[in-house]
Amino acid sequence: MTNFELNAEVREVKGKGASRRLRREAGKTPGIVYGGDKEPTQVTLELKELNKAFEDEGFFSHIIKLNVAGGTESVLIKDVQRHPYKPVVLHVDFQRVSNTTIIKQHIPLHFINEESCKGVKLQGGKVKHTISDVMVICEAGKLPEFIEVDLKDAEVGTILHLSDLVLPEGVEILELTHGSDHDAAVVSIDIPKGVAADEEDGAEEAPAE
């Protein structure tokens, strides 16, 4: 498993004006660290370091070692505010955790064997993704980097739901804790509409024996 580490400084000057100056003049991003049995701590981080870390999808689903004020904090990213069109991170929220802290976190789905499954390769189907990530609940130390969805046996007409996902031990999908009526579709193998219509037209025009 990848180990992620960030450096931060305690932020003494607070307020929107100070935050704007940090971003504009110092290339830094304000943030906050909260949770556990400590008071919230206002921090600043180097924007370049953040942007580099954000390139890795797993950064958002791992416990991060945050170096601040001569010590370290084990944290998870809980919220990121971004500029609407510039590559600028406006603010980051970190939650303090331990390996046994029960957390809720969005985890990405990784779909494999899409092009080689029977429904696509032999039956002319198309993969339709309905959900790209799920909210899980588990101990922070058991948080998966991603959840794999294997389509190798999928045929046309196959629909995989949340309850079909294979989860690591100790990990639950939050939606399913609310009952079976929350068992949403995740992915399906469908015949493209144009192809289906052509097949129906061909059947209607076939001469009767």
Do 110 and 73 lie in a common domain? no
Q: Is the pTM of this model over 0.85?
A: no
Q: Which pLDDT score, from 0 to 100, does residue 197 have? A: 45
Query: How does pLDDT run across 150-168, given as a tens digit for each residue?
Result: 999 999 999 999 999 999 9
Residue at 43 is within a domain: yes
Do 137 and 163 lie in a common domain? yes
Q: Collect all residues with Cβ–Cβ distance below 8 Å to 201 and sequence separation of at least 6.
A: none
Do 108 and 192 lie in a common domain? yes
Query: How does pLDDT run across 85-119, given as a tens digit for each residue?
Result: 877 788 899 999 998 999 999 999 999 999 999 99
Do 107 and 59 lie in a common domain? no
Partners of 6 in beta bridges:
66
Do 120 and 93 lie in a common domain? no
Domain containing 39 — which CATH number?
2.40.240.10
Do 185 and 128 lie in a common domain? yes
* Domain total of the chain: 2
Do 125 and 84 lie in a common domain? no
Residue 73 in contact with residue 96, Cβ under 8 Å? yes
- Which residues span the domain enclosing 63? 4-97
Determine the Cα–Cα distance for residues 106 and 135; give it in Å rounded to an integer.
4
Determine the Cα–Cα distance for residues 91 and 42; give it in Å rounded to an integer.
11
